[in-house]
Amino acid sequence: MKALNKTWSVLLVAILMALALIGCGDKEAAPKDTTQPAQQEEQNNEAPAGSGEELKTTYPLTVKDSTGVEMTFEKAPAKIASLTPSETEKLFALGLDEEIVGVSDNDDYPEAAKSKPKLGGFQVNEEAIIAADADVVFAASMNAQNAEKLRELGVTLFVNDPKTIDAVMENIELIGQITDRQAEAKAVVDQMKQELATVTEAVKAVKDEDKKKVYVEFSPGWTVGKGEFMDEIITLAGGVNAAGDAEGWFEISEENIIAANPDVILYTDDVVDEATKKTLDQLIKERGGWDQIEAIKNDQVISVDANLLSRPGPRVTQGLVEVAKAVYPELMNP
């Protein structure tokens, strides 16, 4: 019933989280983020502070992904593939353009990703993945069963599932270790930390009783509760998630949102209803009883960039900045 354009199709993967990337979409799996390096036979070589030497990885390097699978890299992978937009963004941010031999059909950032060989969308192309012959394939939020299916086909699959911004940054550092791009990873993470600090410093004086209630809607009738990095973004931006009583991504009760009475409603401006050709903000404003919500009465229904918020990658802190500007423009733009 809803016609979603290409950008929204990408976002839907991250929002619903109930769809598995292989077979039926990209699922945000239940296990906590475990994308931390396991004990290594040899420690990474890190240049002393101020030495000016580039950080280098010592191989063999043994690490563990979010599905609990441990793997050892004997050297930096020469051919790398990605099955998820967030992972593709990380790889490009680390300067691995030449090493990337395949990406998902949904990848649209950076521009160079569009010209890479495609390995499938909501249903991955197993034949294309095998033909790519990558030394490692990165994916986000893939359930263990589907991950195991690829591994049985001989694919070296590394799955990430970060639930917080800190976990995203740690994951970028880990990919930097695997690919021997530690210096590049540090630069990316340093920028993310700077953006994070900009927001937390700006909103730190907001008292608990003055924090605005924020409701986020990405797909008609769908929002996010506790346990996902989007909920953390609202909190870090100085807000209170109006749907924070529930967990994960879920379909809303319109009456509950009216009762929560959010001060700010955030929506993505890339969703259009097929039948009426109305945008998501129009659908939100026309719902029965929603005209009594403070956000609508005060014209605080604000669009956000879907990809910045839906992808746990290097631009997620830019999404945080955007949310903070929408919720507290007077603090972020003094």
Going by pLDDT thresholds of 50, 70 and 90, the confidence category of residue 28 is: very low
> Please, where are the H alpha helices in the chain?
6-16, 85-93, 126-132, 144-152, 165-178, 182-203, 229-236, 254-260, 280-285, 294-297, 306-310, 316-327, 329-332
Structure tokens at 178: 């695997």
254-274: pLDDT as tens digits? 999 999 999 999 998 788 888
Checking if the pLDDT of 317 tops 70, the result is yes
Checking if the pLDDT of 10 tops 90, the result is no
What distance in Å separates the CA atoms of residue 2 and residue 11, rounded to the nearest whole number? 14
Give me the pLDDT at residue 253, please: 94
Measure the N-to-C terminal CA separation of the chain; round to a whole number of Å. 43
Give me the pLDDT at residue 256, please: 95
Largest CA distance in the chain: 64
Per-residue pLDDT, averaged over 300-308, amounts to 93
Per-residue pLDDT, averaged over 149-161, amounts to 95
Give me the pLDDT at residue 74, please: 97
Going by pLDDT thresholds of 50, 70 and 90, the confidence category of residue 123 is: confident
Q: Which residue has the higher pLDDT, 5 or 135?
A: 135
Number of H helices, E strands in the chain: 13, 14
Cβ atoms 57, 182 nearer than 8 A? yes
Give me the pLDDT at residue 134, please: 98
Per-residue pLDDT, averaged over 291-317, amounts to 94
Structure tokens at 71: 């793997």
166-194: pLDDT as tens digits? 999 999 999 999 999 999 999 999 999 99
Per-residue pLDDT, averaged over 284-293, amounts to 97
Amino acid in position 182? Q
Q: Which percentage of the chain shows pLDDT scores above 70?
A: 84
Residue 217's DSSP bridge partners are 267
Going by pLDDT thresholds of 50, 70 and 90, the confidence category of residue 79 is: very high
Give me the pLDDT at residue 306, please: 87
Give me the pLDDT at residue 334, please: 64
Per-residue pLDDT, averaged over 17-34, amounts to 35
Least confident of 13-17, 288-292, 296-300: 13-17
| Average pLDDT score over the chain | 86
Checking if the pLDDT of 9 tops 80, the result is no
Give me the pLDDT at residue 25, please: 34
Give me the pLDDT at residue 141, please: 83
Structure tokens at 43: 């420690």
124-154: pLDDT as tens digits? 899 999 999 999 999 998 877 788 899 999 9
Give me the pLDDT at residue 34, please: 36
What distance in Å separates the CA atoms of residue 225 and residue 234, rounded to the nearest whole number? 10
Full DSSP string of 7-62: HHHHHHHHHH--S-TTTT-----SSPP--S----SSPPB-PPTTS-PPPB--SSEE
Among positive and negative, which fits the CA dihedral 164, 166, 172, 173?
negative
Least confident of 36-50, 166-180, 191-205, 310-324: 36-50
C-alpha distance from residue 278 to each of 65, 68, 114, 314 (Å):
42, 44, 29, 32
Per-residue pLDDT, averaged over 8-25, amounts to 38
Checking if the pLDDT of 40 tops 80, the result is no
Structure tokens at 234: 């609202």
Going by pLDDT thresholds of 50, 70 and 90, the confidence category of residue 53 is: low
Checking if the pLDDT of 329 tops 80, the result is yes
188-237: pLDDT as tens digits? 999 999 999 999 999 999 999 999 999 999 889 999 999 888 999 999 99
